[in-house]
């Protein structure tokens, strides 16, 4: 039975999350993930990384990051053989619950333009694509 919980920062959990992302997340056009990055996230915002877990195994993830200004959703992913069963929607709902409890006014998600399956999902979750913005990036 699937349940949802916050990720913890034990080395085992962090490597399970990294492995899960390699096989199941959107990995194009972005820097590689690392244990240090997950540890930094957990230090900064310990309630951001939410997992869907089946028995002891990770089957879904989302980061509901709060930077004090906006809510940002990252690393939404569901295990490939468990998609289209509503797990993605439940992860997003949990993330939105967190944002509501923090009084966040606006939430966004970065989605690659060619990830059309994900577009359908975000649309189904009630998100609206804004075509009049582009992302501008730089390594600090
Ligand atoms: C995007 C993703 C997280 C959706 O997870 P999921 O558990 O399959 O999502 P859900 O079952 O909650 O479905 C949500 C909606 O997506 C749409 N959807 C799901 N699977 C679909 C499919 N195979 N084809 C078309 N639409 C689909 C449906 O509209 C569904 O809406 P509904 O609940 O009203 O039927 C999952 O496909 C995934 O992990 N993809 C790879 C990683 C990725 O691209 N992440 C998004 C990065 S921005």
Confidence band of 29 (pLDDT split at 50, 70, 90): confident
Residue 104 contacts by C-beta under 8 Å, 6 or more apart in sequence? 66, 70, 71
Q: Which residue has its alpha carbon closest to ligand 1 atom 9? A: 88
Mean confidence (pLDDT) of the chain: 96
Sign of CA dihedral 6, 10, 12, 18: positive
Q: Is there an atom of ligand 1 within 6 Å of 118 CB?
A: yes
Q: Which atom of ligand 1 is nearest to the CA of 123?
A: 29
pTM: 0.95
Domains and CATH numbers, the chain: 2-124 (3.40.630.30)
**Distance in angstroms (rounded) separating the CA atoms of residues 95 and 112:** 20
- For residue 83, report the distance from its CA to the centre of ligand 1, in Å: 6
Residue range 102-133, pLDDT digits in tens = 999 999 999 999 999 999 999 999 999 999 99
Q: Is there an atom of ligand 1 within 6 Å of 84 CB?
A: yes
Q: Which residue has its alpha carbon closest to ligand 1 atom 7? A: 88
Q: Is there an atom of ligand 1 within 6 Å of 63 CB?
A: no
Q: Is there an atom of ligand 1 within 6 Å of 79 CB?
A: no
- For residue 88, report the distance from its CA to the centre of ligand 1, in Å: 6
């Amino acid at each position: 039975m699937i349940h949802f919980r916050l990720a913890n920062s034990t080395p085992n959990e962090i490597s399970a999350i990294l492995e899960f992302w390699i096989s199941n997340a959107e990995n194009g056009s972005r820097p590689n993930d690392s244990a240090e990055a997950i540890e930094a996230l957990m230090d900064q915002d310990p309630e951001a990384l939410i997992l869907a877990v089946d028995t002891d195994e990770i089957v879904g993830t989302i980061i509901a990051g709060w930077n004090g200004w906006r809510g940002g959703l990252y690393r939404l992913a569901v295990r490939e053989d468990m998609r289209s069963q509503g797990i993605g929607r439940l992860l997003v709902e949990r993330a939105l619950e967190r944002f509501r409890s923090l009084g966040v006014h606006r939430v966004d998600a970065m989605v690659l333009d060619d990830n059309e399956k994900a577009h359908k999902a975000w649309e189904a979750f009630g998100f609206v694509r804004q075509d009049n913005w582009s992302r501008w990036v730089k390594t600090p």
